[in-house]
């Protein structure tokens, strides 16, 4: 389930966000969301570290939807100056940005204390500090424009501490969800909205080797659920709704002995 939209009255739909910037757009959920928004006629800024993949994605989108605008930029979200430059330059080129989807993330890491420090730190840099950099730049633009929609992609993994190689990943997703909630509290009565998306298991490149993929869906189905939720602009949404909206509170509240069994430990 998702919170009701905060824009206007409960019967008034959110505005159409025409100009959408997506990070982590070269593959997986980011690329699939880009295709779905392009099919709806939205203009896009697609950012990722791998420029050749972005070029291929842009060519595919423009073949299918030649009337949309697609800008691409090589971007490492751990570089705060680069994030700010890309956001400002592309906003100037398009005449503004209406929505920023902070989707870039990695799932590297290992059990703490086993020598995986570098991978764990890289996950923190990308998944938490990278989102902070994007929020700083996006909200600076939205505050100046007097409107905008920031989307933070968290994870169902962020609802509870997880063990072994996913401990740090889960902690970063919990961190960005809390960051987004703080921004929601601050901006509640403003024309700027903030949404946190909690995807469940969606099969993409990032989790191709994960043997514990309960209730998983393919990336087209999962991305469609994410796009539909983002368009409603709730404070938070668990996607796909079934089963994840119904799992959220039990995951948070069940005793650790039960949660360990659910998680397969």
Residues marked as catalytic: 169
Alpha-carbon gap, residue 111 to 113, rounded angstroms: 6
Alpha-carbon gap, residue 84 to 74, rounded angstroms: 13
Sequence-distant (6+) residues with CB within 8 A of 94 are 19, 43, 45, 69, 71
- Residues for the chain: how many in total? 265
Q: How many CA atoms lie within 13 A of 154 on its CB side?
A: 29
Closest residue by Cα to residue 96 from 21, 161, 158, 163: 21
Find the Cα–Cα–Cα–Cα dihedral 31, 83, 107, 255, rounded to 10°: -110
Residues 189, 33, 176, 139, CA torsion sign = negative
Q: Cis link prior to 263 (omega < 30° from 0)? A: no
- Per the CB < 8 A criterion, the answer to whether 67 and 42 are in contact is no
- What are the DSSP E strand ranges found in 95-173? 99-102, 148-153
> Which residues are paired to 193 by β-bridges?
149
The two most distant CA atoms of the chain are separated, in Å, by: 54
How far is residue 179 CA from its own chain's centroid? 13
Alpha-carbon gap, residue 235 to 243, rounded angstroms: 19
């Amino acid at each position: 389930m998702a919170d009701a939209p905060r824009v206007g009255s409960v019967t008034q739909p959110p505005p159409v966000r025409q100009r959408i910037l997506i990070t982590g757009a070269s593959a997986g959920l980011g690329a699939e969301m880009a295709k779905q928004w392009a099919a709806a006629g939205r203009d896009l800024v697609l950012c990722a570290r791998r420029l050749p993949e972005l070029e291929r994605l842009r060519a595919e989108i423009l073949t299918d939807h030649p009337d949309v605008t697609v800008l691409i930029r090589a971007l490492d979200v751990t570089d705060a100056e680069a994030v700010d430059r890309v956001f400002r330059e592309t906003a100037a080129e398009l005449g503004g940005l209406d929505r920023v989807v902070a989707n870039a993330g990695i799932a590297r890491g290992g059990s703490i204390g086993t020598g995986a420090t570098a991978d764990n730190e890289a996950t923190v840099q990308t998944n938490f500090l990278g989102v902070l950099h994007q929020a700083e730049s996006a909200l600076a633009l939205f505050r100046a424009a007097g409107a905008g929609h920031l989307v933070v992609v968290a994870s169902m993994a962020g609802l509870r501490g997880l063990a072994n190689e996913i401990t740090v990943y889960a902690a970063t997703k919990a961190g960005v969800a809390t960051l987004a909630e703080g921004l929601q509290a601050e901006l509640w009565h403003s024309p700027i909205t903030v949404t946190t998306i909690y995807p469940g298991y969606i099969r993409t490149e990032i989790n191709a080797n994960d043997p514990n993929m309960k209730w998983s869906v393919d990336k087209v189905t999962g991305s469609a659920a994410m796009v539909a939720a983002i368009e409603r602009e709730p404070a938070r949404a668990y996607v796909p709704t079934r089963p994840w909206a119904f799992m959220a509170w039990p995951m948070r509240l069940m005793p650790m002995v039960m949660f360990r069994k659910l998680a397969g430990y």
